[in-house]
């Protein structure tokens, strides 16, 4: 009886070792997309009143966890019963990411105004409706990026047993949410940490200098993340197309992958933005006639 109990413990220990190894491999393979996920979500989690930053971030984090709870079992089921659907979902998500990235570039280049308009925009951004809209947008983007993370993690253990697949993908999905949004929380609270250091040191010494550095660095970090996040959206979308559409994958093989992925994402985003603008004009035309 005791020997059977210890045999079960040995089996559990062996399974945990396998999970640890496979999770480590999967985490390495998803490191690139996790970096993009961090840049995108850090950019989307900023631009709020200081008092609303953590509540908004917590709302996005909860949405991200719900996304994972939906995506992980669906991805595992589709992989067993209808694997082609995974590629279709990825490509549709890539179109959305490409649109969102390029739309930001178009908005900045052609619809950006200066002066009072910017001040008015900041006030609008602080409104409750604008906050909810931005949270929904962040959760939607997280959903697409989460699909990519889960699929890559699942791809690293396709030859393993079902229980090992479930454990590995679940661990990677959980670590992705905790890791990404934990770092984002540290970024958005840089200035508060800096102010506290300045107050505690009474504005003197090394702590005060560090505090001033944190406070002055935050606007720069946010601007950099905004640019990096937009580029990441285009790169991730291009990577989805390149890796999941054979024609694009084999097109111009001599071009470096990062340039190819960015170019493909940019073209797809421009087409998506043009299509959305055309649809808006058509809808407006029908409304006028009606």
- The 8 Å CB, 24+ separation contacts for 175-179 are 175/23, 175/27, 176/30, 176/34, 176/37, 176/68, 176/146, 176/149, 177/61, 177/64, 177/65, 177/68, 179/34
Which residue has tokens 């062996």?
A: 14
pTM of the model: 0.67
pLDDT for the residue numbered 14: 46
Please say if the pLDDT value at position 66 is more than 80: yes
pLDDT (mean) for 70-87: 84
Closest alpha carbon to 265 in 113, 62, 47, 104: 104
CA distances from 163 to 73, 76, 158, 198 (A): 12, 11, 11, 51
Helices (H), the chain: 2-29, 31-44, 50-81, 84-110, 116-125, 128-155, 162-188, 190-200, 205-244, 246-250, 257-289
Give pLDDT tens digits for 90-136: 788 888 888 888 988 888 888 665 444 444 344 444 566 777 787 88
Determine the pLDDT at residue 79: 81
Q: pLDDT grade, residue 273 (50/70/90)?
A: very high
Q: What is the rounded average pLDDT for all residues in the chain?
A: 76
Q: What is the pLDDT of residues 213-248, one digit of tens each?
A: 888 887 787 777 777 778 877 888 888 888 888 888
Angle, helices 128-155 vs 2-29, to 10°: value is 110
d(CA 236, CA 37): 9
The band of 205, judged by pLDDT with boundaries at 50, 70 and 90, is confident
Instruction: Please tell me the distance from the alpha carbon of residue 192 to that of residue 211, in angstroms, as a whole number.
Output: 9
Distance of CA 142 to the CA centre of its chain: 5
In this prediction, residue 224 carries a pLDDT of 79
Q: How confident is the model over 163-182, as a mean pLDDT?
A: 82
- Checking if the pLDDT of 74 tops 70, the result is yes
If pLDDT is split at 50, 70 and 90, which confidence band does 7 have?
very low
The lowest-confidence range among 159-163, 188-192, 253-257 is 159-163
Alpha-carbon Rg for the chain in angstroms: 23
């Amino acid at each position: 009886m005791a020997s059977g109990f210890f045999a079960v413990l040995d089996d559990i220990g062996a399974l945990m070792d396998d999970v640890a190894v496979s999770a480590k491999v999967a985490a390495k393979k998803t490191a690139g997309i996790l970096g993009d996920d961090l840049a995108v979500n850090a950019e989307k989690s900023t631009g709020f009143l200081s008092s609303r930053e953590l509540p908004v971030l917590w709302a996005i984090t909860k949405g991200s966890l719900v996304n994972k709870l939906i995506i992980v079992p669906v991805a595992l089921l589709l992989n067993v019963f209808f694997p082609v659907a995974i590629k279709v979902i990825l490509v549709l998500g890539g179109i959305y990411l490409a649109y969102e990235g390029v739309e930001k570039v178009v908005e900045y280049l052609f619809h950006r105004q200066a002066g009072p308009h910017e001040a008015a925009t900041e006030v609008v951004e602080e409104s409750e409706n604008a906050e909810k809209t931005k949270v929904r947008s962040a959760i939607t983007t997280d959903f697409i990026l989460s699909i990519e993370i889960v699929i890559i993690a699942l791809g690293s253990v396709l030859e393993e047993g079902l229980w090992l697949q479930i454990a590995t993908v679940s661990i990677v999905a959980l670590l992705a949410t905790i890791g990404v949004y934990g770092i984002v929380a540290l970024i958005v609270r840089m200035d508060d940490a800096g102010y506290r250091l300045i107050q505690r040191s009474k504005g003197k010494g090394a702590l005060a200098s560090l505090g001033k550095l944190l406070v002055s660095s935050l606007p720069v970090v946010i601007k950099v993340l905004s640019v990096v996040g937009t580029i990441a959206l285009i790169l991730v979308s291009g990577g989805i197309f390149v890796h999941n559409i054979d024609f694009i994958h084999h097109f111009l093989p001599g071009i470096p992958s990062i340039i190819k992925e960015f170019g493909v994402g940019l073209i797809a985003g421009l087409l998506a933005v043009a299509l959305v603008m055309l649809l808006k004009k058509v809808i407006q035309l029908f409304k006028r006639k009606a």
